[in-house]
Amino acid sequence: MSYALEICAASLASALAAQAGGAHRLELCQNLEQGGITPSYGLIRQVRAQVGLPVFVLIRPRPGSFVYDANELAIMRDDIAACRELGCAGVVLGALDATGRVDTAACRELIGAAGPLEITFHRAFDACCNQTQALEDVIALGCQRVLTSGRQATAEAGQAQLAALVAQAAGRIGVMPGAGIAAANVRALAAATGAREFHASAKRTVPPGPAAGLFAAARWETDAVLVAELVAELR
């Protein structure tokens, strides 16, 4: 069986490291420390220019909940239009209503804006009150895959639910485990869940430089060696 590894990259350096390590696809975002938001136009453009992997862009205008108002949805549509303009392979999106169900009307609006781009429904899925119903809703929307940890803090903790979702999907949609995926656990997760695609950041902490002064802050960057280890485990 063949497996695919998607790397979540929040910078050009991380995207290049993902490619060097042998990743199959990128999810591009920024502010990964807050769960990720939509990356800048410039970052998307430079990654598209310098990286040969399929690029999927996170469409999330802010951290926090996945309930969006009309103004936020308008921003998201414009961001999706920019992704189409820049030749991205897909977008990663999701919207919920106030009851914790998939907001199918909002999602249809965003998916319509995406046109021919592939769609991944992101981890808003893990905030859904009923994942069994949510999976049917996401399938009905026509998404190609859903990113989930099985409603747990890590995919390893959620592997029983992930296996149930893979079984329920029955090939109608890809179920892509994410959260805490590493070389040490990815092979066991593949066996336990039946999933064929995996999502990881393969990141290391980069300490602030001496010139940072008052603005000192560590950041995360993808490490090509960690990516290569994951790819080797999935062969």
* Domains of the chain with CATH codes: 4-234 (3.20.20.380)
Beta bridge mates, 220: 205
Q: Would you state the pLDDT for residue 209?
A: 79
- Tell me: the pLDDT tens digits for 13-25? 999 999 999 999 9
- Tell me: the pLDDT tens digits for 151-204? 999 999 999 999 999 999 999 999 999 999 999 999 999 999 999 999 999 999
Q: Would you place residue 115 in the very low, low, confident or very high pLDDT band (cuts 50, 70, 90)? A: very high
Residue linked to tokens 């029955």: 170
Residue linked to tokens 């998939």: 102
